[in-house]
């Protein structure tokens, strides 16, 4: 397997070999490890969205990012992605940045979450001109609460799967998707259709 490293020493998703990622099928992921199988599943539509209080690094310093701040005000798109400074994640975040108006026009906020530190996320955002809010789930509790924490990814340890949730103003999940592999992007057309119905 060819290995591509960023300036932070992280493997690029272009190097992901799906043969090393056993039985990864949305919305669940099972990995065989010494005859032990662990199953994870993204929380489903109709569930109460777990609140979170994560950190984001801005020019002004560290700030809190809370899902509950949007309750009663706007719908929220919560995106989980494996790692900053990787090709597919960069494509996803740059594409969303370019189309942010499509979300603001339907009264939706977008929060992207990964297990990277807020400082790594800020450096990545500056390098790639990513304009959406990035939130650090460094202790991995939020990915776990949403059912999208992968136990291991090609030897890198636990990271979040690529997943998307639409949370309405009442805090209820109206859209839930975990992509079949880390290389696949969420169905943003379906996400926008869901948001349009909630507008």
Catalytic residue among 31, 89, 149, 166: 89
Contact 147, 43 (CB under 8 A): yes
Q: Coil, helix or strand for 156? A: coil
Known active-site residue 94: no
Token pair for residue 181? 């592999």
* Residue 9 falls in which region: left (phi positive, over 0), alpha (psi -120 to 50) or beta: left
Q: Max CA-CA distance within the chain?
A: 49
Token pair for residue 122? 């800020």
How far from 119 is each of 8, 78, 89, 104, 107, CA to CA, in Å? 12, 20, 17, 26, 28
**β-strand partners of 48:** 172
Contact 160, 137 (CB under 8 A): yes
Residues catalogued as catalytic: 89
């Amino acid at each position: 397997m060819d290995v591509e490293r960023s300036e932070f020493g992280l493997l690029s998703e272009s190097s992901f070999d799906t043969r090393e990622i056993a039985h990864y099928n949305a919305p669940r992921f099972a990995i065989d490890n010494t005859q032990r199988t662990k199953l994870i599943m993204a929380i489903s539509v109709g569930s109460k969205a777990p609140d979170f209080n994560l950190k984001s690094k801005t020019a002004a310093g560290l700030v809190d990012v809370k899902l509950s701040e949007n309750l009663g005000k706007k719908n929220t798109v919560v995106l989980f992605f494996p790692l900053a400074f990787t090709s597919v994640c960069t494509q996803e975040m740059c594409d969303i940045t370019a189309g942010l108006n499509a979300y603001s026009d339907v009264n939706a906020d977008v929060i992207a979450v990964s297990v990277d530190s807020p400082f790594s996320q800020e450096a990545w955002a500056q390098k790639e001109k990513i304009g959406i809010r990035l939130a650090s789930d460094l202790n991995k509790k939020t990915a776990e609460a949403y059912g999208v924490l992968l136990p291991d990814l090609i030897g890198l340890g636990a990271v979040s799967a690529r997943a998307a949730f639409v949370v309405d103003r009442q805090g209820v999940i109206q859209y839930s998707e975990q992509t079949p592999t880390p290389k696949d992007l969420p169905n943003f057309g379906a996400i926008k259709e869901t948001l349009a119905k909630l507008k």
